[in-house]
Amino acid sequence: MGPGPSNIYPEVAMALQRPLLGHLDPDFLEILDQTCERLRTVFGTDSAATLPLSGTGSAGMEAAFVNFVGPGDAVVVGVNGLFGERMCDVAGRCGAEVVRVEAEWGQPLDIDRVLSAHPAPKLVAAVHAETSTGVRNDIAGLAAGKGEALLLADCVTSLGGIEVRLDEWGVDIAYAGTQKCLGVPPGLAPFTASPRAMERRVEHPQSWYLDLGMLAAYTGPTSGPAARRYHHTAPVTMIMALHAGLGAVLDEGLEVAIDRHRKCGAALQEGLTKLGFELFAADGHRLPELTTVTWPEHLLPAGLDEAGVRRRLLHEYGIEIGGGVGEWAGRMWRIGCMGHTARPRNVTMLLGALADILGR
Amino acid sequence: MGPGPSNIYPEVAMALQRPLLGHLDPDFLEILDQTCERLRTVFGTDSAATLPLSGTGSAGMEAAFVNFVGPGDAVVVGVNGLFGERMCDVAGRCGAEVVRVEAEWGQPLDIDRVLSAHPAPKLVAAVHAETSTGVRNDIAGLAAGKGEALLLADCVTSLGGIEVRLDEWGVDIAYAGTQKCLGVPPGLAPFTASPRAMERRVEHPQSWYLDLGMLAAYTGPTSGPAARRYHHTAPVTMIMALHAGLGAVLDEGLEVAIDRHRKCGAALQEGLTKLGFELFAADGHRLPELTTVTWPEHLLPAGLDEAGVRRRLLHEYGIEIGGGVGEWAGRMWRIGCMGHTARPRNVTMLLGALADILGR
């Protein structure tokens, strides 16, 4: 129940046991095609350029900038947590002129301020679900006002856990992680870019490994003049795991899975409040899949600091929760309820364990 | 029996079934530390900066250039196959002045020509085991003559299959893949850089994801002023698989495993020659783990082209072998005998299947 990885779906565990196929084996290529199609469904997009990248969510972030931003391009980044901060670093390494629009940690981005920060940015970027703070930013609102700019959304912790409707909203570029609400181990970055974005991409990006032009040629059509071309050896086992995780989510029903996340998050947040914790993220912008809390000093038992409580949870109850990051290290917890972990029984167990430790 | 991925070791299949741990869980961090130590053993190095990168072998190649080469740096690349060619592309995207030294496909690099191609390169790079041609290049010879330059070796298809002794030879930077002689699925890039290389690395590389300075802070010491710092979510499951694959190789004994590859390769090459195939790689530079062959036109049965023979191998015998690449597509096969696949019984089965199909 940390901020990810979450527990994997049983279907994913079974996929990890399947015999290894070659990355050019026709049976594997069919699984790859199905994986891309399933990603389109969960992203809510028809974009052809939708594929799992061969790296973790952070590789998705790098691909999102390196393929669309070059030296001197104006990029507006909304920053209200660690991952918005990281976007500025990554965009800067592409030579972009980075315009930061900050909001306090725990608060959502001010959409109007982000949209008016630069007269004509090439790209506007924000994190949908800030894993460092538990805050949801209004991506639909940004998309509605983006104008000529491309809109980039980090969906690492939102995909499969809350509503993500890229085409309906008008998001051009998005990436996610596998180890959050999709219930798959970390190691791949689901990625998508709209035709509008692909038309404006950097032709020869500074990264060979993440060059979308070459990658799309591998995941693309299997025959005809634009037939599939080898780029790098695909991480076959992880793609089979993602295929199974997406299958589990879609078999349950995407809306049903999202509703499960919603209910678990609500129960957890109510229970934590009753125990005396304070919800950190602004009301109305709280993520159900990632709950952040602080506490009044007297709440923790004498002689046990927050790290001590987390160690007892891990060693006595087998429950992992996450600490705060940045200036909130030692003063905040981040509790995930994502993917296969998002079950009422897990909420009950954590709340019971905390009640034990706090002596409530 | 393609050019990779090879079959995985049974120990690796078991590791893939272990419960998922968090990337900051103390139990996982111990596995990560052990994995880095095992990588030092198989690479033959004491370098602290030895770790599994969170991408495939090609991400290792990108990390090797992006961290050590910047705009205007002179880089000499030996090119006698697809992966030497790829190095030039990757180095060029870092802004390097790339000096190519070519040899014909199937022939080894001329060490003297590589070493005298530029008066003072920052880096000299070559592929140890060219997966596109089956040729071994003389990395020890390059290291002996490198002078002030850093020496970079692509060990994707050599690590665990033939001798790799980085410190003894004087190699500064190396990367590998997991899916070749280590018998692990594709998805990670074992990587190492010497202290001498780390002193001369690019401080703020264009890639955030592959920034060795930040990565080394995560895999580094667990306490003290330089304590481990979160960078990105490590691909936990794949690292546990690599840990197990390295364990299998070291339990068998690295020398014993290398000798097994040698014997299987020799038997395969002898058998293929007897069947009428022609070995493509130059004598004295043939890789045992990757055999390349061509054939006289009359060898294949009437009405069956080379792709047809490979399809029959796959569908009737369950054996995958690889086709040629580049100008050798359709005219060459690449047959892997790596990792857990490098067993005499597999050699026997392939030779038997080919004899059936060819009607010998």
pLDDT 10s digits, B91-146? 999 999 999 999 999 999 999 999 999 999 999 999 999 999 999 999 999 999 99
Chain B: give the shortest CA distance to residue A139, in Å. Answer: 23
Distance CA A300, CA A357 (A): 9
Of the pLDDT bands very low, low, confident and very high (cuts 50, 70, 90), residue B228 is: confident
Of the pLDDT bands very low, low, confident and very high (cuts 50, 70, 90), residue A223 is: low
Residues in chain B with CB shorter than 8 Å from the CB of A29 are none
The average pLDDT across A29-42 equals: 97
CB contact under 8 A, A233 and B54: no
Of the pLDDT bands very low, low, confident and very high (cuts 50, 70, 90), residue B30 is: very high
Q: Which of A187, A204, A233 sits opposite B177 (nearest CB)?
A: A233
CB contact under 8 A, B55 and A58: no
Indicate if the pLDDT at residue A247 is higher than 70: yes
CB contact under 8 A, A207 and B208: no
Residues in chain B with CB shorter than 8 Å from the CB of A232 are 56-59
Tell me what percent of the residues of chain A surpass a pLDDT of 90: 95
Contact criterion met (CB below 8 Å) for A243 and A31: yes
Distance CA A218, CA A228 (A): 5
Contact criterion met (CB below 8 Å) for A82 and A325: yes
Indicate if the pLDDT at residue A16 is higher than 90: yes
The average pLDDT across A45-53 equals: 97
| Mean pLDDT taken over chain B | 96
The average pLDDT across A115-121 equals: 98
Chain A: give the shortest CA distance to residue B144, in Å. Answer: 30
3-state secondary structure chain B: CCCCCCCCCHHHHHHCCCCCCCCCCHHHHHHHHHHHHHHHHHHCCCCCEEEEECCCHHHHHHHHHHCCCCCCCEEEEEECCHHHHHHHHHHHHCCCEEEEEECCCCCCCCHHHHHCCCCCCCEEEEECEECCCCEECCHHHHHHCCCCCEEEEECCCCECCECCCHHHHCCCEEECCCCCCCCCCCCCEEEEECHHHHHCCCCCCCCCCCCHHHHHHHHCCCCCCCCCCCCCCCCHHHHHHHHHHHHHHHHHCHHHHHHHHHHHHHHHHHHHHHHCCEECCCCCCECCCEEEEECCHHHCCCCCCHHHHHHHHHHHHCCCCEECCHHHCCCCEEEECCHHHCCHHHHHHHHHHHHHHHCC
Indicate if the pLDDT at residue A226 is higher than 60: no
pLDDT of residue A218: 83
Contact criterion met (CB below 8 Å) for A316 and A323: no
CB contact under 8 A, B24 and A2: yes
The average pLDDT across B285-305 equals: 96
- The residue ranking higher by pLDDT, A295 or A228, is A295
pLDDT 10s digits, B192-213? 999 999 999 999 999 999 999 9
3-state secondary structure A78-130: EECCHHHHHHHHHHHHCCCEEEEEECCCCCCCCHHHHHCCCCCCCEEEEECEE
pLDDT 10s digits, A146-171? 999 999 999 999 999 999 999 999 99
CB contact under 8 A, A55 and B54: yes
Of the pLDDT bands very low, low, confident and very high (cuts 50, 70, 90), residue A179 is: very high
Chain B residue with Cα closest to A13: B17
pLDDT of residue B227: 64
The average pLDDT across A242-255 equals: 98
Of the pLDDT bands very low, low, confident and very high (cuts 50, 70, 90), residue A227 is: low
Mutate to test the interface with B, among A11, A207, A214, A218 (most CBs of B within 10 A): A207
| Mean pLDDT taken over chain A | 96
CB contact under 8 A, A93 and B206: yes
Domains of chain B, residue spans: 10-252, 254-358
CB contact under 8 A, B232 and A58: yes
Chain A: give the shortest CA distance to residue B236, in Å. Answer: 7
Of the pLDDT bands very low, low, confident and very high (cuts 50, 70, 90), residue B223 is: low
Residues in chain A with CB shorter than 8 Å from the CB of B235 are 56, 185-187, 238
Indicate if the pLDDT at residue B220 is higher than 80: no
**Which CATH number among 3.50.50.60, 3.40.50.720, 3.40.640.10, 3.40.190.10 corresponds to the domain A10-252?**
3.40.640.10
Residues in chain B with CB shorter than 8 Å from the CB of A23 are 5, 186
Size of interface A-B (CB pairs under 8 A): 149
Indicate if the pLDDT at residue B225 is higher than 80: no
pLDDT of residue A307: 96
Distance CA A202, CA A210 (A): 12
pLDDT of residue B217: 84
Chain B residue with Cα closest to A322: B24
Chain B: give the shortest CA distance to residue A89, in Å. Answer: 8
CATH architecture of A255-358: Alpha-Beta Complex (3.90)
CATH number for the domain whose boundaries are B254-358: 3.90.1150.10
